[in-house]
């Protein structure tokens, strides 16, 4: 298949590009580099040896979107592009809705106009809000009691895709609800490169390990969980990338949602311990009050994806910590740091 990856230079997109190229698909990346670097695409090319086309475009602009899709004759689109920082979305809701919704609308226009029949959308477990029952399966309500515009934008785009698929009857759309993506490509060549202070646990922990940040704040140790800290379902980004390939290859007409998670919950203290073990570094931390909007426990039931996509996670939390550490220690300044070091 020829697959367009919007946001393909980003964390999940770049790892998915590697897996798709290695499975023999043709990959074209469209990105505006607002939160990513062209160097990531260079490294995907180096890892895979594949000839991956890169088009720079702001997909919130309908004219630019049409230009970016022109002449590609693609079979499928994976729509990763979007803003994803939860706290920032609370501070700048209009920008979040404008960017995330407009780019999704423009991508859907291009899909319809060009007769593309397969769409995979980067959704999030955040669409379930505070889950009613654990582990979470796809029958749980979506868009109830969400606490931030980022999460709402994901739930809204899911609905927009459902409506678009009714009108475009031959569209096969897959909504992938990611749990907590972590880890990096085992080469250490590509990984998560957050700008500024990381919001998420794993990049923060790896920056403490490498000495870039003094200590981690553990957001609450009084939850009703195994050790009082928040429990999440961490999924290795290479497993997540393989889930996208499986979704593309199994997509059926209509809209289907899948949880992509491991089914295993790990606490913040367990993540710290696993990272300390694989890195040999001490992770300094203190316990801070819970972060607003956080829930105690989020764990996937991935049975539907296991069954229908013939996909399951294979890599452990330890492996994810090892690969994150490799990426972080080889690229302490992220992509930009390495670009500056290269003469
Ligand atoms: C967050 C977002 C979610 C988004 C996901 C991936 C919220 C409420 N949810 O998920 O919408 O899809 O990121 O981008 O922000 N923790 C600490 N210290 C830290 C950072 C995190 O203790 O410095 C804890 C959190 O309280 C949580 C766990 O680590 O228990 C995981 O946090 P994080 O990596 O931010 O992911 P989520 O909050 O699950």
Cα-to-centroid distance, 288 and ligand 1 (Å): 14
State the Cα–Cα distance between residues 26 and 50, nearest whole angstrom. 8
Among 338, 343, 341, CA closest to 42? 338
C-beta of 228 in contact with ligand 1 (< 6 A) = no
State the Cα–Cα distance between residues 322 and 306, nearest whole angstrom. 25
Cα-to-centroid distance, 218 and ligand 1 (Å): 11
Q: Which of 152, 294, 297, 321 is the best mutation target for the ligand 1 pocket, counting ligand atoms within 8 Å of the beta carbon and taking the most?
A: 294
CA angle 107, 112, 116 (to 5 degrees): 85
Q: Take atom 5 of ligand 1 and give the residue whose Cα is closest.
A: 180
C-beta of 180 in contact with ligand 1 (< 6 A) = yes
What does the pLDDT profile of the chain (343 residues) look like in tens digits?
999 999 999 999 999 999 999 999 999 999 999 999 999 999 999 999 999 999 999 999 999 999 999 999 999 999 999 999 999 999 999 999 999 999 999 999 999 999 999 999 999 999 999 998 999 999 999 999 999 999 999 999 999 999 999 999 999 999 999 999 999 999 999 999 998 899 999 999 999 999 999 999 999 999 999 999 999 999 999 999 999 999 999 999 999 999 999 999 999 999 999 999 999 999 999 999 999 999 999 999 999 999 999 999 999 999 999 999 999 999 999 998 754 443 3
C-beta of 232 in contact with ligand 1 (< 6 A) = yes
Q: Which of 213, 259, 291 is the best mutation target for the ligand 1 pocket, counting ligand atoms within 8 Å of the beta carbon and taking the most?
A: 291
Cα-to-centroid distance, 108 and ligand 1 (Å): 30
Among 88, 195, 293, CA closest to 203? 195
Cα-to-centroid distance, 200 and ligand 1 (Å): 5
**Is the CB of residue 29 less than 8 Å from the CB of residue 2?**
no
State the Cα–Cα distance between residues 220 and 293, nearest whole angstrom. 12
Q: Which atom number of ligand 1 is nearest to the Cα of residue 294?
A: 8
Q: Hey, what's the torsion of the CAs at 192, 198, 201, 204, to 10 degrees?
A: 90
The predicted model scores a pTM of 0.97
Among 72, 73, 84, CA closest to 13? 84
> What CATH number has the domain spanning 2-182+235-260?
3.40.50.720
């Amino acid at each position: 298949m020829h697959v367009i990856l919007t946001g393909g230079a980003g964390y999940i997109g770049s790892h998915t590009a590697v897996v798709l190229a290695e499975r023999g698909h043709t990959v074209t990346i469209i990105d505006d580099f607002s939160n990513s670097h062209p160097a990531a695409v260079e490294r995907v090319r180096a890892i895979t040896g594949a000839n991956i086309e890169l088009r720079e475009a702001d997909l919130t602009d309908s004219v630019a979107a049409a230009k970016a899709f022109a002449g590609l004759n693609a079979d499928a689109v994976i729509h990763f592009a979007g803003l994803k920082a939860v706290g920032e979305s609370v501070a700048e809701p209009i920008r979040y809705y404008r960017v995330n919704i407009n780019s999704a609308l423009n991508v859907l226009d291009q899909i319809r106009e060009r007769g593309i029949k397969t769409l995979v959308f980067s959704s999030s477990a955040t669409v379930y809000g505070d889950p009613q029952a654990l582990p979470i399966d796809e029958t749980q309500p979506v868009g109830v009691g969400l606490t931030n515009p980022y999460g709402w934008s994901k739930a809204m785009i899911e609905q927009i895709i459902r409506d678009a698929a009714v009108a475009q009857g031959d569209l096969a759309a897959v909504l992938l609800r990611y749990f907590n993506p972590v880890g990096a490509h085992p080469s250490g060549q590509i990984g998560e490169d957050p700008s500024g202070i990381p919001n998420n646990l794993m990049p923060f922990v790896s920056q403490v390990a490498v000495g870039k940040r003094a200590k981690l704040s553990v957001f609450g140790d009084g939850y009703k969980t195994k050790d009082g800290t928040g429990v999440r379902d961490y999924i290795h980004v290479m497993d997540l990338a393989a889930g996208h390939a499986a979704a593309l290859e199994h997509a059926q007409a209509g809209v289907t949602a899948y949880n992509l998670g491991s089914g295993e919950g790990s606490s913040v203290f367990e993540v710290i311990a696993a990272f300390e073990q694989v890195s040999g570094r001490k992770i300094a931390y203190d316990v801070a009050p819970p972060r607003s909007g956080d829930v105690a426990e989020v764990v996937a039931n991935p049975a539907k994806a296991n069954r229908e996509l013939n996909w399951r996670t294979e890599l452990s939390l330890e492996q994810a910590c090892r690969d994150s550490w490799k990426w972080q220690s080889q690229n302490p300044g992220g992509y930009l740091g390495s670009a500056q070091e290269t003469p």
